Amino acid sequence: MIWLTCPAMKRVVIIAAPLLALAACATEQPAAAPRPSSPAASIAPSPGGSGSAPVAVPAAPEPVADGPCPYLTSSVVAEANGQHVTKVRTSADKPQPACFFYRPDGSVQLTVRIYVGEAAVAKALVDEAAPIATSSPASSPSGWKGGSLSGDGKAVYAVAKAGTAVVVTSNQEQTIKARRITETVIKNLKL
């Protein structure tokens, strides 16, 4: 039989407690779904319901040039999102580029994506960003429909009207911030 003295017990507790905490954090996480490595468009089920052909959704935009954003100022983003904007980059998309607003640590704090084209694609793009099955309904501004959701350190507000979609993603979990940016973009572009 082994007897541990008081100082020896303290050493055992000091060593064992962090190991137990580490073991509790080391549970196996499910593997993340693989992401396509090519910029090819994804295929989404048609938003019209069952029996409709799938709709090709344009690939996510990539920042390729330094800003400014032609339809949204950095000061509006800083005020709405609550973070200083240090850099703005834009995509090559037409007629309006996607805009990427960066925070002081170099990470993207807010992205605005605008799609103009076919109504089915606009709806599918919104459903891809804020799936109908898992998001809250979004209907602001008036006449626009889509979804909003938050979690995992971000919020998305995505709406479509006819052949136009606006998708705003923020690194803040409050969807009100993404909604306000969406309303401002739609107003500024007179969409």
pLDDT above 60 (res 81) = yes
Dig out the tokens for 16 from the structure. Answer: 């064992």
Query: If pLDDT is split at 50, 70 and 90, which confidence band does 5 have?
Result: low
Query: If pLDDT is split at 50, 70 and 90, which confidence band does 50 have?
Result: very low
On average, the pLDDT of the chain sits at: 81
Percent of the chain with pLDDT over 90: 69
* CA-wise closest residue to 170 among 160, 159, 184, 182: 182
pLDDT above 70 (res 4) = no
Name the amino acid, one letter, at 139.
S
Kindly list the structural domains of the chain, giving each domain's residue range(s) and its CATH number in brackets, ordered by start. 62-189 (3.40.1000.10)
Q: Is 132 in contact with 121 (CB distance < 8 Å)?
A: no
- Whole-number pLDDT of residue 188: 96
**Alpha-carbon gap, residue 154 to 131, rounded angstroms:** 15
- Whole-number pLDDT of residue 54: 81
**Alpha-carbon gap, residue 43 to 8, rounded angstroms:** 63
- Whole-number pLDDT of residue 30: 36
pLDDT above 80 (res 14) = no
Picking from 39-48, 57-66, 140-149, 175-184, which range would have the lowest pLDDT averaged per residue? 39-48
pLDDT above 50 (res 123) = yes
β-bridge pairing 87-90 and 108-116: unpaired
